[in-house]
Amino acid sequence: MKKGFLTTSKAKQQLNKTEIEKKDADSLVADTSASRNLNSGVSPNTPQWTTFSHGLVAEAGLPKGYERSKRIWASEFPDLNDPQAFCYVTLPSVKSGAVLPDNLGNRTECCVSVHVKNLIEKTPGFPSPPLQPTGGKAYEIRDAGAKGLGVFATRLIRAGDIIMDDRPLIFSPSGSTAFLRDQEFIRTLEAYTLGQSKQIVLYEMDQVIKGAFDRMPVEHQKAFMELYNSHKEDGSGEYIGRSRTNGAGIDGKKLRDQGTTGPVGAYSVVCYDYSRMNHCCCPNSVFHWHTDTFTIRVCAIRDIPAGEEISINYCSVLDSAAERAQSLAPYGILSCTCSPSCSDPALAKISDERRARFKKPIVLHPPAGRSGPGATWVQPALTRLRELEEENLQAADEYRRTLYQLVNIYCFLHDVDKVLLYAHKLDAVCRAMDRSKEVDKNLLTRQGVKHTAGWQTGMLNRMQMPGMPMPLMMAFA
């Protein structure tokens, strides 16, 4: 795909370079490469060996003298009274003795704590069938040049549409949670350097994922092994390497091990089609985990014309170009050229400055007295929306927030056309981000707008005499 053979001198240069990257990675507390979009906030007590290296590592593989652990980290028959016990389980579950139905493809091999297994099984609606893509399948997987394979739109996909709702092949811990509780194992690591300890933990995690892999039907095993692996030089095995390359992080607020915070105790999934989606710093789609359907759902966040590559973000889109580069390095993405604001230094500077501003929401206060259509105090929100759209940052939460702000403001100002304009954009974004319940459907029709609380507040404002103070302190956030 993108790696060739290295000559000896090139190899040395590469090694020096990756050693620097390795040090950088060592200084991070979270394994950002393990899975996308995990919550940050690692406890200072988290051992450093939970952070894996990437790139060419000088001493990849198990250190001499380390006896491969015979420990069973996860069992098919766990103690169901111990929420911390790890188990292998197929979800949605297959009843003992049942003849497997035709839809093998809808089952996932999981390595989970009993606590997380219970959370999944008790989720209302679990296991609902995956949702159908809006208007039928609208993508193909094909060559994406230097990026390897990619996912491309085969017809126009509208903002808010479901593109895929993918059941994972594997659901497994994204960090080394099981090891953190095993004092005997941790003592074993004391005899080794930090680098060696990381290699040992990588090996043990590889074995954990292999345990789930061994339970998969042959077609799933083949599909898993076909996936790209960007961790061939850092000591990751075949299984953990693919998991680090393709894993999508599960929102820790939804599912995580009991009593854990941050990336420790979090989970990630590896799907098939979803794993072919490449990164873009201004992506045209977003993804979210849904426990009821047990799927990663990808939706368009803006219109995607036929032929365009469908992209997601592997790192925070509001980070600076330098911060994004650091997050992307573990994927082997050393120089991101996904958009003009990545490859052109002048545009990157403007984009960095804007992205930093987008992290700070604007709060607007209407001036005292009557305020009608054409009001100028709205301008900062309009400028922000224009800049977000120029940067193609519809995937940033700030885009949704700004639309919400504008809808509320124009309701207050009784400007129906503008309410409808921004409410329809907001509706698409909320459907993509799965927050559809937030959009009051009244906002989508000319008559409905007049029945909203925002419109009523505007009425009160209109009854005020110029110069008189507002009945309520108003702020649009």
Which of 22, 54, 117, 279 is close enough to bind ligand SAM by CB under 6 A?
A: 279
Work out whether 149 is an interface residue with ligand SAM (CB under 6 A): yes
Are 23 and 54 a contacting pair, CB within 8 Å? no
147 near ligand SAM, judged by CB under 6 A: yes
| 291 belongs to the binding site for ligand SAM (CB under 6 A) | no
* Closest distance to ligand SAM from the beta carbon of 314 (Å): 7
Query: Could you identify the residue written with the tokens 């093998």?
Result: 104
Minimal distance in Å, beta carbon 230 to ligand SAM?
A: 3
Q: Which stretch binds ligand SAM (CB under 6 A): 143-151, 162-170, 181-189, 438-446?
A: 143-151
Interface with ligand SAM by CB under 6 A: which range of 70-78, 141-149, 357-365, 412-420?
A: 141-149
Residue 51 contacts ligand SAM per CB under 6 A: no
Q: Does 407 bind ligand SAM (CB under 6 A)?
A: no
For residue 233, which phi and psi values (nearest 5 degrees)? -115, 5
Specify the residue for token string 């399948």.
137
The residue written with tokens 């409410």 in the block is 423
**In this chain, which stretch among 92-100, 144-152, 172-180, 200-208 interacts with ligand SAM, using CB under 6 A?**
144-152
107 binds ligand SAM (CB under 6 A): no
CA trace torsion 150, 156, 161, 162 (10° rounding): -40
Rounded to 5°, angle at Cα 53 from 211 and 89: 20
Give the shortest CB-422-to-ligand SAM separation in angstroms.
31
Instruction: Write out the binding residues for ligand SAM, residues 150-169 only, by CB under 6 A.
Output: 150
Among 22, 54, 198, 276, indicate the residue that binds ligand SAM (CB under 6 A). 276
Q: How far is the CB of 429 from ligand SAM (least distance, A)?
A: 23
Stretch that binds ligand SAM, among 155-163, 271-279, 319-327, 425-433 (CB under 6 A): 271-279
- Token pair 């607020």 is found at 253
Residues in the chain: 477
* Residue 300 near residue 285, CB atoms below 8 Å: yes
174 lines the binding site for ligand SAM (CB under 6 A): no
Q: Of 149 and 421, which has the nearer Cβ to ligand SAM?
A: 149
Among the residue ranges 85-93, 255-263, 325-333, 374-382, the one whose residues contact ligand SAM (CB under 6 A):
325-333
Q: Which of 275, 295, 371, 405 binds ligand SAM (CB under 6 A)?
A: 275
Query: End-to-end distance of the chain based on CA atoms, in angstroms?
Result: 46
Q: Quickly list DSSP for 254-285.
A: TS--TT--TTTT-EEEE-SSGGGPEE-SS-SE
Q: How far apart are CA 271 and CA 246, in angstroms?
A: 8
Q: What is the largest CA-CA distance in the chain?
A: 85
Residue nearest ligand SAM (C-beta atom): 148
Asked whether 244 and 231 are in contact (CB, 8 A), the reply is yes
- What phi and psi values does residue 299 have, to the nearest 5 degrees? -130, 150
Name the minimum Å distance from CB 252 to ligand SAM.
Answer: 21
Residue 170 touches ligand SAM, criterion: CB under 6 A:
no
Burial of 417 (0-12, 13-18, 19+ CB in 10 A): exposed
Residue 246 touches ligand SAM, criterion: CB under 6 A: yes
Residues 6+ apart with CB under 8 A from 403: 385, 422, 425, 426, 429
**Shortest Cβ 79–ligand SAM spacing (Å):** 36
- Positions touching ligand SAM (CB under 6 A) are 2, 147-150, 228, 230, 245-246, 275-276, 278-279, 331-333, 336, 338
